[in-house]
Chains A and B, each alone.
Chain A
Amino acid sequence: MVTVQLFASYAEALGGSTLQIPFENGTRVADLVRSIRALPGGRSVPPSPRVAINRKFATAEQLIRKDDEIAVIPPVAGG
């Protein structure tokens, strides 16, 4: 399992600020998103959300590693 951080509207929709998501070697960002969207409330996350790995925006094809810091980033609204 890997820990995924959620924020703002996504955290509210999925009922918490972290999720534990199944993980195996070869899991990509897109696979992780598919797993999240299958959870109750997961449809609030779009099919291609911004995902950050180790505090940098990642691509859908990027591979997840076991100890990565992973976050799904809702549309930002700073300023």
Chain B
Amino acid sequence: MKRAAVVTRVIDPAALIAEVQSPEFGAISLFVGTVRDVNDGRSVTALDYSAYVNMAESELAAILDEAEVNFGVGAIAIEHRIGALALGEVSVAIASTHAHRRPAIECTRFIIEEIKSRVPIWKLEHYADGAREWVDPTRAIGEAAL
């Protein structure tokens, strides 16, 4: 079972766990990304995520295929939310399963790193001082973002 989707509703990490859970797997690794209140020293009040949805879903599908080959995982579910998100809300959740913990954890790590480098999703941050800015991680290389 492998599934990846870009969604516009609230993400329920427990639902992803339930989706991938099976007695044949001894490990479920879950990553949950949430909206943080500070970025680069600025106070963030809200976020808007947008995407090139068709390509984002095809890149996510490609990442799923690569993850299956690389880690031999059993089941994977990924959801990335777009639209307006409030502080603390879940933006992305990944659940990977395997018979053993190490491949499950490594698979989840692989998937979130690939999402951050190649899935066409963008983040518009709104700041407490009224300013707004598109987040550009390529400007933060060598800084805290890594």
Contact = CB atoms under 8 A, between A and B. Distances in A.
B70 to A, nearest CB: 19
A75 B52 contact: no
Interface string B102-121: 00000000001001111111
B33 interface: yes
A59 to B, nearest CB: 15
B43 interface: no
B127 interface: no
Interface residues of A, number: 17
A78 B124 contact: no
Interface in A38-79: 52, 55-57, 71, 73-79
B91 interface: yes
Interface in B81-127: 91-92, 112, 115-124
Nearest to A8: B122
Closest 10 CB pairs of A and B: A78-B121, A8-B122, A9-B134, A55-B55, A77-B123, A77-B135, A75-B138, A79-B116, A75-B136, A55-B58
